[in-house]
Amino acid sequence: MYIKGVGMTKFDYSQKPWWAFAYEASLEALQDANMKASDLDAIVFTGMSSPAGGEHQTHKTSLISDLFKVNIPIIETPSVCAGGGVAFWTANHLQGFKNILVIGSDRLVDSRSEVTVEYILSAAEKVIEQREGLIFPAQNALVWSEYAQKYNINDKVLSLVAFKNHENAQKNPKAYYYKRPVSLEQIEKSPIVASPLKAFHCSLSINGGAAVIISQDPSDIEVIGSGYATDYILTYGRKEVWHFPATQKAAQIAFKQAGITPKDINVAEVHDAFESVEIFSYEDLGFAQPGKAPEMIEKGYFNHNGTLPTNPSGGLKAKGHPISATGLAQIYEITKQLRGQAQERQIKGDLKYGLTHNIGGAGGSVAVHILKKV
Amino acid sequence: MFYKCPKCDRRWQYPVEKCPECFETLQKMKNKQTKVIGITKVSIPTLTHPNVPFNILLLEDEFGNKWSYKTQREYKENDNFILETAKTRDAVAVWTWKYDILETLDKLEYLLNGFKIDSDSTVLILPKLTKAEHPYLRENTSPEFLDCLIKFVISKGVNPLNIMVGAQSFTDTPIEMMAQKSQLLEVCQQNGVNPLIISMAGFDELYNLRISEFAKKVSLIINAPILKEGQDWASQNLLTLLEKNDYLKLTDKEKKQEAIDKIISGLNNIVTIAQADEIQNANKIMETIAIFLAGYNAKNIDKVFSDILLNQPGAGKDIEVVGREILDMQFKPRN
């Protein structure tokens, strides 16, 4: 399949309903694709924010039909933080449809942070893990501690990744931290959330939407690899607890389909719900040997001017993480980069291959996609 | 608790019955040693964990199983993790329910140093049965809890014929209707135990109260209520033992408390095991609390429970609590 058009809203705290974010992003994608709603043959939607705002809309497919005035198949594929990636994977595996609009949107931040956390925690295991206080930062802190202990890693590398992503976001008009500089010192001095993870090591819960139109008709961007894998919701029931094996599996599938290796990738958007996750995901994706990613980060390998620029959008950390929109916002960014349309944040050089990596929960569902500039 | 397939060694924390690959019945993995292998200190409050900071331990047993455990106590990596048991008879044991009631009962028994049930025991179980309602409304003790409780008692060698499940109606609704709609009657029948309509048997004197003759005859009474937010059902359920006219004379809270005090001091064969896995909150809406509480002093259980749900913060501060600490379990249900 080929990418015809991409769109996304600015990620912010505006209080539009979830469908307004979806609509705004989709309109941009339609215009980008030079298409209209009646050209669509199917829509795949993902979102988890129906509890927010008291709306409780669970028949989103019908509401979307009303928005676009279409009567085509509309499929909903919720997979929390990986919703965007999984929706995109689903669209790529649907057969018999020429033009498919993929939408992700969420408005989860509509109340006190404790309430938002409760919404997000619906993506985790309620009785066995959450009763034990395992909010996502704690879950990821324990996974990071296992990783850091296994490879003897200093926690300071977490701040370096956050700093890199904040630097990138400053150049992205759709990122929350656009033109809002954050220093390494600020990151280091931010309060502990779940030791050793600090507030600035955690992504930014925010509202927003993103949309992508794929087509059987050739365009300038081809989807050449599409991998998806799942893993147990009980993080510590897995054999290995110092990384997310589902990333490895999804990446292996995507690279095998694409017929290329991690060394061929020119730009990547890697899921950094927590900066710890970005670090060990470099290894799970094949960009670094086990335990070696921190050293490469320190050397600037993943910086904007590095060998493999990663999260030029600012990532979930500094662009923001509107849960289900995130995976499609990654596709948006890589498409813009491969097309050479990323303006101030455009990565220099001849970009041919880009990768997106989108995780749901603490490694419970992972989608990896590889895009090629045709 | 972990469950494993005896054939392929796959493991679960969910109490599923059979392995989907081998179709073998899963076995419980009862561990003896637990070590702390990881710690994180959480500093931000959430709705369900308002008391910060707290620690989350990553624990590992001798089988290599790993799980998380919330605690206010400080540990170091490689520490042995050992649960202290009750030192006094007034202690309250609190343990988390993780879908397996039998596992929770085992843990509560351990925390209270045994329930003293053996093959010679005669047992009267008192579920909360006060309304003719379906189980999903959480008005009555759940059929799942009663079923597990009966199986737990039978597992100690007690003949089912020596187990009674007692109840009576203090309203115009016949107890038979309540027993049927709550599905508790069905549980008794399936397990071959005797349902007892307390009002149809004899009564003895206890102080100036008339109390079921079986209360003194059996070796153990298991008071097994389901709890509700803002109410004292652990102790109030004991009033089920009273003769109906005596009960109806208890027109105010003070009189009920007086009667409860008499039952607790007059009968030393009562243990309360209270269900608070999924309960009614103050608005009668189901809320997952995911705990069970047990002890020999039902009033203490009510105090600890109201402290946990922040209805009466501090109510349990002078009570010995074993298993899970009040501060660790505390949160305010969404009313």
Q: What is the pLDDT of residues B237-262, one digit of tens each?
A: 999 999 999 999 999 999 999 999 99
Same-domain status, B14 and B101: no
Please state the rounded mean pLDDT for residues B184-192. Answer: 97
Same-domain status, B96 and B156: yes
d(CA A157, CA A346): 25
B41 and A194 within 8 Å at the Cβ level: the answer is yes
Is B81 a member of any domain?
no
According to the model, what pLDDT value does residue B62 have? 97
Backbone angles phi, psi at A280, to 5 degrees: -75, -15
Same-domain status, B32 and B139: no
- B130 close to B139: Cβ distance less than 8 angstroms: yes
Q: Which residue of chain B comes nearest to A114, CA vs CA?
A: B46
Nearest by CB: A135 against B41, B42, B288: B42
Is B82 a member of any domain?
no
- Looking up tokens 């060394």 gives A263
Nearest by CB: A194 against B12, B42, B58: B42
A236 and B49 within 8 Å at the Cβ level: the answer is no
ipTM for this prediction: 0.89
A142 and B68 within 8 Å at the Cβ level: the answer is yes
| CA-based nearest residue to A138, from B144, B272, B42 | B42
| CA-based nearest residue to B126, from B214, B63, B44 | B214
Task: Give yes or no for residue B47 having a pLDDT over 70.
Answer: yes
Give the 3-state secondary structure of residue B294.
Answer: strand
Is A257 a member of any domain?
no
Nearest by CB: A236 against B49, B68, B290: B68
Rounded to 5°, angle at Cα A123 from A122 and A125 = 80
> Considering its fold, how many domains does chain A have in total?
1
Is A295 a member of any domain?
no
Which residue segment(s) compose the domain that A79 sits in? Answer: 2-112+206-213
> Residues 6 or more apart from B205 whose CB is under 8 A from it?
B211
d(CA A212, CA A83): 13
Same-domain status, B209 and B63: no
d(CA A294, CA B61): 31
According to the model, what pLDDT value does residue B68 have? 95
Look up the CATH number of the domain holding residue A25.
Answer: 3.40.47.10
* Low-confidence residues in chain A, pLDDT < 70: 50-54
Is A190 a member of any domain?
no
- B239 close to B247: Cβ distance less than 8 angstroms: yes
HSE toward the beta carbon, residue B319, CA cutoff 13 A: 30
Same-domain status, B39 and B176: no
A130 touches chain B (CB under 8 A): yes
Is A106 a member of any domain?
yes
Q: Which of B39, B71, B103 is the last residue of a domain?
A: B71
Task: Give yes or no for residue B154 having a pLDDT over 90.
Answer: yes
Q: Return the biggest CA–CA distance within chain B.
A: 62
The alpha-carbon gap from A250 to the nearest alpha carbon of chain B, in Å, equals 22
According to the model, what pLDDT value does residue A116 have? 85
| CA-based nearest residue to A73, from A89, A50, A96 | A96
A114 and B98 within 8 Å at the Cβ level: the answer is no
B41 touches chain A (CB under 8 A): yes
β-bridge mates for residue B167, sequence order: B197
- pLDDT tens string A220-258: 999 999 999 999 999 888 888 889 999 999 999 999 999
Same-domain status, B190 and B139: yes
Active site residue A321: yes
d(CA A71, CA A372): 32
Same-domain status, B154 and B260: yes
According to the model, what pLDDT value does residue B335 have? 60
Considering only CB atoms, which chain A residues are within 8 Å of B56?
A: 132-134, 138, 142, 194
Nearest by CB: A142 against B38, B45, B328: B38
Considering only CB atoms, which chain A residues are within 8 Å of B292?
A: none
- B226 close to B142: Cβ distance less than 8 angstroms: yes
According to the model, what pLDDT value does residue A56 have? 76
A237 and B41 within 8 Å at the Cβ level: the answer is no
Same-domain status, B131 and B215: yes
According to the model, what pLDDT value does residue A53 have? 58
Is A25 a member of any domain?
yes
Q: At what angle do helices A275-284 and A156-169 cross, to 10 degrees?
A: 100
Considering only CB atoms, which chain A residues are within 8 Å of B99?
A: 127-128
Tokens of B86: 């009750």
Same-domain status, B132 and B281: yes
DSSP states along A217-271? S--SEEEEEEEEEE--SSGGGSS--SS-HHHHHHHHHHHHHHT--GGG--EEEE-
A53-58 long-range contacts (CB < 8 A, ≥24 apart) are: A53/A15, A53/A17, A53/A107, A53/A110, A55/A17, A55/A18, A57/A18
d(CA A180, CA B34): 47
B290 touches chain A (CB under 8 A): yes
According to the model, what pLDDT value does residue B157 have? 97
The continuous run of DSSP H or E covering B329 comes out as helix B326-329
Is A147 a member of any domain?
no
| CA-based nearest residue to B117, from B166, B167, B162, B83 | B162
Which residue segment(s) compose the domain that B9 sits in? Answer: 2-71
Same-domain status, B234 and B325: yes
Counted residue by residue, chain A has a size of 374
Same-domain status, B308 and B182: yes
Active site residue A202: no
According to the model, what pLDDT value does residue B333 have? 87
The alpha-carbon gap from B35 to the nearest alpha carbon of chain A, in Å, equals 14
Give the 3-state secondary structure of residue B37.
Answer: strand
Is B76 a member of any domain?
no
> Considering its fold, how many domains does chain B have in total?
2
A194 touches chain B (CB under 8 A): yes
The alpha-carbon gap from A249 to the nearest alpha carbon of chain B, in Å, equals 20
B66 and A237 within 8 Å at the Cβ level: the answer is yes
| CA-based nearest residue to A121, from B97, B46, B41, B69 | B46
B45 touches chain A (CB under 8 A): yes
Look up the CATH number of the domain holding residue B197.
Answer: 3.40.50.11440
d(CA A43, CA A23): 12
- pLDDT tens string A202-223: 999 999 999 999 999 999 999 9
Please state the rounded mean pLDDT for residues B121-133. Answer: 97
Q: Is the peptide bond before B53 cis (omega within 30 degrees of 0)?
A: yes
pTM: 0.93
Is B334 a member of any domain?
no
- Burial track B243-279 (b if 16+ CB lie within 10 A, e otherwise): beebbeebeeeeebeebbebbbeebebbbbbbbbbbb
Same-domain status, B47 and B196: no
d(CA B78, CA A168): 41
Is A64 a member of any domain?
yes
Radius of gyration of chain A (CA): 19
